[in-house]
Structure formats: C-alpha cells, structure tokens
Copies of this chain bind each other. A is one copy, B any other.
Amino acid sequence: MNEKHGPNPAEGAATVSDKTREALRAAHLYYMQDLTMDAIAHELHTSRSSVSRLLSHARASGLVEISIHSPHDLPSRIEQEILTRFGIVAHVVPVPDHASDVDRLDRVALSAARILGRFVDSNQVIGVAWGSTMSAMSRHLVPKSTHNTEIVQLNGAGNGRTTGIVYASELLRRFGDAFGARVQQFPVPAFFDDPATRRAFWRERSTQRLLDLQAGMDVAIFGLGSPFAEVPSHVYQGGYLDPADYDGLSREGAVGDVATVFYRADGSTDGIALNERATGPDFAVLRRAPRRICVVSGRAKLASLRGALAAHLITDLIVDEGTARALVEH
C-alpha cells in the first residue's frame, strides 16, 4: 500500500555506508573469528540484538556468501548423470518427496535465488521471464552490485488481474534492485489477441530496441510452463488462454512453454498457432544467450522439461530432487 522508496541522499549516504562497514566488521568477527554475538556487541559498543540485526543485514545484502561444494571425489550422482546425458549443468535441490507442490516450488526458488549470484555479473544483459517460479525467486534474491547490467523482460505480462502473483513490473524491479541494474519493461500482454497486432507492434521502434536487447542477452532466466499438467502454471490461470487455445495446443502436441512460446516433446515449435500471438522470444533468439538458466520444480513439469531439453533451451538447470530423479530414470 505504501511505497518504501527512500535512498535518502541527505544524511543517508554516510549512514548506509557506515552500516555496511559495521556489518562487514561484525561478519568478520562472527564468521571468520567465531566470536559470539555478545562478544561482538561488546567490541562494537552496541547491543547484542543490534549485532544480530547487523548480521542478518550482512547475509541479506550479500556481504556474506555461503556456498556449498561437494567434494570432487563425491559428485552428486544425479547431477553427474544429467551432465553426461544432456550436457548441461544441474543443481539438484534436495526436497522431500512428500512435500507439497507449493513448498517444493518455494524451496527450489529460494535455492535458485541464492545460486543466481554466480551467473550475474557486470556489463551483462539478463533476460527474465515471468511466472510463478520467477516470482518466488524474485523475493529471495541476494543482492550483488554490478555496473552497466540490464534486466530485460522476456515476455509480456498482460494486465494485472492475477492471482496474488506480483505484477511483472514488481518482479523485474526486484531483479533490478538486487543487482543494481537497469530494468527494461516489456509492456505488452502475455498473448496478443490477433497475430497481426503482434507483428505490427514488433515493427515499432521502441519494441525493436527491446528485441535487440533480447537478441544480445548474456543470461536468460526462466521457468517452464506445462499447460496440461494437473496443476497448470499460473499463465494458464489468469485468463490469458481460452478453451479454443487449449484445444489448439493439445492438437499440436504442445507439452510446455518458455516465456509464452510453446514447444512439443521433441522441442519443435513449427505450426503451433498460438506462438504467432506470443510475446516471448523465438527459441532461435533465446539460444543465442550463452547461459540459459531454467528453474523447475515438480514432476508435473517433467514432460515440459524433457521438451525444453530437446529444444536445447537450457544450459543450467535448477531442479528439485524428485523431478531430477524422474528425469534420469528411463
């Protein structure tokens, strides 16, 4: 309801850098020297609670980075298997089999958000799709300061009448904030009603500028849609598609989509009529990005995932354990 903007340039500049400096020192003392927060509070002439908060801040703002290395002599069997079978790097997120789908998605998204920092760097163009997975991720991003990096929206988000999902602009803004990057919105609906409108729009110079950015992406980040799964992705709930569309997709054998562009189990897209109205990048464009990070959770998306792999859309996969296991089981 309220805007929490407030860089506060007046006295904020000194304060914020001061706080960071203290947080840095607290982090050193806590993580490098194993002091208790009490001891740190004493050294910093403040209270223990403030130290607790300072350390929270240090973690949340990426001053402290916690990474997990599996020893080289003990590689994850599944990740190894995925690498040899599909030629992509997998990050398998451990989630118990009995977890609910929403739990699973949250936990995968949280892990993904924390891994993401490794892929993002200065002077990059980063494409971000839009969906429930990306939305969950956006809430947990660990900031990392970069220069001259741009966040580009990959597909339109249509109007805002969604089911509690944050709007695309909010999502993009979170990515931009986390990395100190400029954000390029793509103010179009998820699907045009008429292919002709799309084509016309695509000829606009402002659209062209954005498409050019997309074509030069260094990193793309996206989830997968799976239109015929028991729990359809949220793109299919917002009223973006009507029964006729579904019939069409079904007839054409579509098994999933990436940023509103649909594909079949073998990765092909030709002849899927709905794609003429979609707003996401053509796969040929998408594949020009050297790193293409896909975040998936839930066995319901297995068919989608297989299709996306067949289409070579993925170079790095972040996936829950159950789905990963199902993927490598023949």
Residues of A within 8 A of B (CB): 17, 20-21, 24-25, 27-29, 31-34, 43, 58, 62-74, 93-94, 96, 107, 110-111, 114-115, 145
Contact = CB atoms under 8 A, between A and B. Distances in A.
Contacts of A28: 68, 93-94, 111
Contacts of A33: 93, 107, 110-111
A104 to B, nearest CB: 11
Given A25-B94, A34-B110, A63-B69, 4 more contacts: A28-B68, A62-B69, A63-B68, A65-B67
The CB with the most chain B CB atoms within 10 A, among A29, A71, A107, A114, is that of: A71
A108 to B, nearest CB: 9
Question: So how many copies of this chain end up in the complex?
Answer: 2
A254 B247 CA distance: 89
Given A32-B93, A93-B32, A96-B43, A24 B111 contact: no
Contacts of A94: 25, 28-29
A127 to B, nearest CB: 24
A68 B111 contact: no
A110 B34 CA distance: 9
B32 A114 contact: yes
Nearest to A143: B71
Given A28-B94, A93-B32, A69 B65 contact: yes
A68 B20 contact: no
Contacts of A110: 32-34
A177 to B, nearest CB: 15
Among all A-B residue pairs, the 3 with the closest Cβ atoms: A32-B111, A31-B66, A33-B107
B68 A31 contact: yes
Contacts of A29: 94
Contacts of A107: 33
Contacts of A93: 28, 32-33
19 contacts: A24-B70, A25-B94, A29-B94, A31-B66, A32-B93, A32-B111, A32-B114, A32-B115, A33-B93, A33-B107, A43-B96, A63-B68, A63-B71, A64-B66, A65-B66, A65-B67, A66-B66, A67-B67, A72-B145
